Chains A and B, each alone.
Chain A
């Protein structure tokens, strides 16, 4: 077997390995129900902020804890403890993606990504209000 072939085989092995790793290493997106059925396992839970309940961030007690409620895609509402300071724009977010696990009966998020309203929608909104005032 020639050297180039060996190199290519090694390369393919690495690629297949990382492919598998990236699939198994990736956390899966679930609803709260599944996360609460498997405490301690990391999941991604997506949903929207429950605007009817308060967002609590009290840095004088803990700078690294933000508590709020999330409505997941199945409509289940759960309290979430985010192990971070309160991210800017949380209240304006359209969608939240939490990465975390259930510990002691509560969902602890280690990481959170927010999807904020696009500029585009806001423009429309701006113009519509202008429109309304014009009539």
Chain B
């Protein structure tokens, strides 16, 4: 019998599914109509049919989006999507963001931007409408089917955003799903789970829409490229596609940098860029798009590098899909911090990717007969892949595509009749785009390591036998197919990316001064000479301020290239573009880009971890267990850190955050007199001359201090701990925090102080959130110490000094409750806390060659101790100290990093966006002019 569920909005699920299905069907009809309408000379009635179908598609999906927002704003928690990404506590702005909290919403957002962009194309109705919209419809149909949520047996085709929780495969059949009042009777449906608190900030509101608009805007040049290939108009598509490509550069670039800013401001990655696979996978399409857009510009007037332009534009979109595949399929699982868990749409995304790669390659083949033949071969491979083993057909398919691309490059795509001049703008732009391609390929290789592992899987047996027969080590490695990414960015990314960036940015500097077709070399050199000279001077200034080691040579060269690119483009702006907006876009964007890289390189290469640890016996720690990154702050202690003194003063809960306030004070450098004695790291030093302390003792040790190997009485008496200064006025307070996150586990979030010239970025590495465990008397877990005579240790605030050991005389034994034959040692120690002093003498007792533990309690001090061992050879004792919870002091472990000149990066971003915007405007203008000419 059908159950009538009370209060459930089942109608919304039905409506939503109908809208998705009709939207999908309409996209298919539009696709069919546009194909028919674009064949040959074009057919207006088919086109008009397709247009109508596409409008149905648009309205359906806008309906889907509106409906989901209606559900969100009405808190319909019976829907899985609403329940997962919304809760009652989220503010309105985040309610908007919960729409794209999950993959389904991500696809819808992507489709939404496609809809907006295709409306712009539809409104133009130019000669490109038909073929371009063919491919846009195909893309939309493919994306729509990811949301169908239809089951073929066990295989789920698409994710249904309108799935009710009770229908979800995990609950279906459970008793509560047959309870008609489940919505009111189950408390779980009164509130949702809500967005992961990590995502609950304003970046979540602005970053995904920007990034997805960037993704969507690569689809338009892609569709134009395929349209041009289809109509065999290899050049003509470029002019209308150029503004779209530059628009994509602007938006996608903004989206990527916003992601970086988000990571920097709100997540504890320790910087703005971590070469995370997800970051990389939106960077790579952007890089290709930059290369492609520049080649589109070059090809505008004459045939130069059509194939490369096509390759980069098509590659850019396909890599967007590939990046979606990487992040959503879960294949990255264990290498990325923000990838999704495998949701079962991996095969669908893979199909999309392979099919579109196939279509793009097929289109490059000129002969229709060959196209049909190849389509047949592809179909056979797909069937084999679907029915049997998938990996080998995929590999054969990819190889086939590679061969076809080479054939297309040599035979089918038009090539320049005469070779370009060496000193022409088009040649160097071509070089630049090839440099970009190399950079993109390298990043993709690094990111895709898990993909090779999957591709190598079926060859396990082959490589194992190869290893056995040839003893070739590498074959065994291949057979294991368990490659793992290198964790050292320097080794894996910077070693290749820095030189490529150097080349590329040098090209940015001088290419604008070259003319199309042919340039007078002498004049050209004269023109760039002054920018070069200016850059050299500025570079010297940077060198005086920054510290580069010889191994930093590539980085320093990159810094020079950035400066050169800025001066050269500035010169171009002033002397050639003469401030005319129309001509200035490129130069402004180039300056912005160079500043972004400059800021990134300077702030990371010159970043300084100032939170060196001050407590703990430095000698004891071996070199590898480096103690140089994090600072341990006892509450209310004031310690020097970098150019500050800091003090951890307070902790409190603020909403979902546990905040730890750290106050920063001015550091007034301390002056040392000649012959003054200090100790540092367990050694004693004497000042050579009067001097003012530098920041770091190690750095200035050789210059200012003489080590005293055998300190005399005077030294011992006068020695004070070396400090670089004394705390002055309070400057500011930072509150690095821990987000209390039940879903994902507590997560640290940074707090940063921004200055014009640098940022002080701090985040917690450890803090106690719960009360520590104690025994029934209130003592905390004991700590064991190994000490020599003369050693001191700090227990809470109490300085405990181990003075000496003496045997307990026979006469004193009875008083100490000892037996006459006992061997007993008195361990004399002094406790000292803020002037208060106490002598204690716990015992170490051996009775009949057994050690008798003798717990020694010092009640009014909140301490107890037990001597565990005595080693007469080294005169060392081992003892355990327990501190009472009443004297415990709270502490945190924090990392602080100074990023110098990071503001240049953000300013560069703004300049780049502005410049690209101007370029887009200029390109739209040019495209319109040529369209008018055509008509």
By a beta-carbon cutoff of 8 Å, the part of chain A in contact with chain B is 2-4, 7-8, 11, 14-15, 18-19, 21-23, 25-30, 44, 46, 57-65, 81, 83, 85-86, 88-89, 92, 95, 97, 99, 103, 108, 110-111, 113, 115-116, 118-120, 122-124, 126-127, 130-131, 134-135
Contacts and interface: CB of A to CB of B under 8 A. Distances in A.
A127 B333 contact: no
Nearest to B80: A123
A119 B891 contact: no
In the A-B complex, the 4 residue pairs with the closest CB atoms:
A89-B745, A85-B765, A29-B482, A44-B484
B422 interface: yes
A68 B262 CA distance: 32
A7 B431 contact: yes
Contacts of A126: 188, 193
Given A60-B891, A86-B766, A130-B188, A4 B419 contact: yes
Interface stretch (B587-595, B613-621, B644-652, B843-851): B613-621
A62 B334 CA distance: 28
Given A88-B745, A115-B333, A120-B341, A64 B430 contact: no
Contacts of B557: none
Contact of B629 (A58, A60, A64, A123): A64
A134 B766 contact: no
Contacts of B625: 62, 64-65, 81, 83
Contacts of A14: 438, 442
B482 A63 contact: no
Nearest to B491: A25
A85 B84 contact: no
6 contacts: A18-B445, A18-B496, A64-B628, A86-B765, A89-B746, A116-B745
Given A15-B442, A86-B766, 14 more contacts: A11-B438, A18-B496, A19-B445, A23-B477, A25-B492, A26-B484, A28-B482, A60-B615, A65-B625, A83-B626, A97-B334, A97-B484, A115-B334, A130-B186
B747 interface: yes
B485 A26 contact: yes
Contact of A119 (B188, B334, B744): B744
Interface stretch (B20-28, B36-44, B56-64, B169-177): B169-177
Contacts of A27: 484, 486-487
Interface string B157-199: 0000000010000110011100000000111100001001000
B626 A64 contact: yes
A33 to B, nearest CB: 14
B484 A99 contact: yes
B90 interface: no
A85 B624 contact: no
A85 B482 contact: no
A28 to B, nearest CB: 6
Contacts of A59: 630, 632, 766, 891, 893
Nearest to A133: B187
A83 B487 contact: no
A25 B427 CA distance: 34
B434 A11 contact: yes
Given A4-B430, A123-B193, A29 B613 contact: no
B780 to A, nearest CB: 11
Interface in B424-473: 427, 430-431, 434, 437-438, 441-442, 445-446, 449
A113 B335 contact: yes
B201 interface: no
Contacts of B480: 28-29
B255 interface: no
Contacts of B419: 2-4
Contact of B765 (A26, A63, A115, A130): A63
A64 B431 contact: no
A131 B174 contact: yes
Nearest to A25: B486
Contacts of B627: 62-64
A28 B893 contact: no
A83 B624 contact: yes
A57 B630 CA distance: 14
Nearest to B452: A23
Given A3-B427, A7-B434, A89-B744, A22 B176 contact: no
B487 A99 contact: yes
Contacts of B420: 3-4
B680 interface: no
A32 B61 CA distance: 53
Interface of B: 84, 165, 170-171, 174-176, 185-188, 193, 196, 305, 333-335, 341, 419-420, 422, 427, 430-431, 434, 437-438, 441-442, 445-446, 449, 477, 480, 482-487, 491-492, 495-496, 613, 615-616, 621, 624-632, 738, 743-748, 765-766, 783, 891, 893
Contacts of A29: 480, 482-484
A134 B631 CA distance: 49
Given A3-B422, A28-B484, A61-B616, A116 B334 contact: no
A14 B439 CA distance: 9
A97 B486 CA distance: 12
Nearest to A26: B483
A46 B334 contact: yes
Contacts of A99: 484, 487
A123 B196 CA distance: 12
A111 to B, nearest CB: 4
A114 B446 CA distance: 20
B744 A85 contact: no
B487 A119 contact: no
A131 B483 contact: no
A44 B84 CA distance: 35
A111 B487 contact: yes
Contacts of A63: 613, 616, 627, 629-632, 765-766, 893
B492 to A, nearest CB: 6
A62 B484 contact: no
A126 B441 CA distance: 44
Nearest to A111: B487
- Name which of A7, A18, A135 has the most chain B CB atoms within 10 A of its CB: A18
A11 B188 CA distance: 58
B599 to A, nearest CB: 26
Contacts of B628: 64
A64 B630 contact: yes
Contact of A88 (B193, B449, B616, B748): B748
B483 A60 contact: no
Contacts of A60: 615-616, 632, 783, 891
Nearest to B781: A58
Given A28-B480, A83-B624, A22 B446 contact: yes
Contacts of A89: 744-747
Contacts of A81: 625
Contacts of B333: 115
A135 B175 contact: yes
B188 A127 contact: yes
A4 B428 CA distance: 11
Given A7-B434, A62-B627, A122 B174 contact: no
Nearest to B621: A62
A53 B38 CA distance: 69
Contacts of A115: 333-334
Nearest to B305: A4
Given A15-B438, A59-B766, A97-B334, A130 B187 contact: yes
A119 B194 CA distance: 11
Contacts of A11: 434, 437-438
Nearest to B483: A26
